[in-house]
């Protein structure tokens, strides 16, 4: 009974507040780095943003399609089917975590992760999760799927003080995001879910990263079996 009461309160709060939500800013509220290239378009350096982060805003059409696809496939495979919140996944996660006391399972969509990053939400608590859901609905009200995934890819953590694919691609691969290969795209796609444990700089982090990348590639092949030959570039 308590479970249904809690769920009912969440639903009512979301519905009531929906019409009152203001449009949030997704780009100009944070500072960005400056990138310097030489006359041959080779990277010279990236400056730190004012908050001591490496963050280079990159429009979606300047990001390799393989990275966009790999990120959605890994983080939120039903991204285009739900309205910012995957209700079924949320119920399963809530039941496993708070009712059956089983293992914690993830249920955050890309939109919910974007909300967590945008507002600095502590989503590991019940109240934080409710706020995250509410903010995800707010984002879905004002922004298209394209705009949301673009914003997420520009805020996602890639280890240490690197945020967004623009900085991650330049720092880790010395390439612009539009130039990434499939192996490189898969490598970046698995980092934001656990950037500390999948730090490719350390030996232990590299092994964790390698395992996650292998699992993602198996998922990728179910959708794109023609890419099987590229396994040799992924240490498989």
What band does 31 get if pLDDT is binned at 50, 70 and 90? very high
Write down the pTM of the prediction: 0.85
> Which string of b and e fits 77-91 if b means at least 16 CB within 10 Å?
eebeebebbbeebbe
Which residues lie across from 43 on neighbouring strands?
Answer: 37
User: What is residue 177's DSSP assignment?
Assistant: G
How far is CA 185 from its chain centroid? Answer: 13
Q: Can you tell me the distance from the alpha carbon of 46 to that of 175, in angstroms, rounded to the nearest whole number?
A: 13
**pLDDT value, residue 43:** 92
Read off the pLDDT of each residue in 204-223 and give the average, rounded to a whole number: 91
Percent helix, strand, coil in the chain, to 5, is 55, 5, 40
**CA dihedral for 115, 120, 124, 128, sign (positive or negative):** negative
**pLDDT value, residue 3:** 58
Q: What digits encode the pLDDT tens for the residues 61-86?
A: 999 999 999 999 999 999 999 888 88
What band does 60 get if pLDDT is binned at 50, 70 and 90? very high
Q: What digits encode the pLDDT tens for the residues 105-136?
A: 567 899 999 999 999 998 888 788 888 988 99
pLDDT score of 188 more than 80: yes
């Amino acid at each position: 009974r308590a479970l249904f009461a809690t769920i009912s309160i969440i639903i009512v709060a979301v519905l009531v507040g929906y019409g009152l939500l203001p449009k949030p800013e997704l780009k100009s509220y944070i500072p960005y780095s400056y990138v310097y290239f030489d006359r041959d378009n080779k990277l010279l350096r990236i400056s730190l943003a004012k908050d001591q982060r490496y963050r280079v805003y990159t429009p979606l059409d300047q990001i390799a399609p393989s990275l966009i696809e790999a990120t959605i496939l890994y983080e939120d495979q039903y991204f285009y089917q739900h309205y910012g919140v995957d209700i079924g996944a949320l119920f399963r996660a809530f039941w496993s975590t708070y009712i059956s006391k089983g293992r914690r399972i993830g249920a955050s969509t890309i939109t919910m992760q974007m909300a967590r990053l945008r507002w600095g939400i502590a989503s590991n608590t019940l109240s934080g999760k409710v706020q995250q859901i509410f903010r995800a609905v707010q984002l879905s009200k004002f922004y298209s799927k394209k705009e949301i995934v673009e914003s997420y890819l520009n805020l996602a953590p890639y280890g240490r003080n690197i945020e967004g694919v623009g900085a991650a691609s330049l720092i880790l691969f010395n390439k612009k995001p539009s130039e990434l290969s499939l192996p490189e795209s898969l490598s970046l796609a698995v980092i934001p879910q656990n950037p500390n444990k999948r730090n490719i700089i350390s030996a232990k982090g590299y092994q964790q990263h390698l395992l996650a990348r292998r699992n993602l590639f198996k998922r990728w092949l179910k959708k794109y079996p023609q890419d099987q030959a590229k396994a040799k570039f992924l240490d498989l």
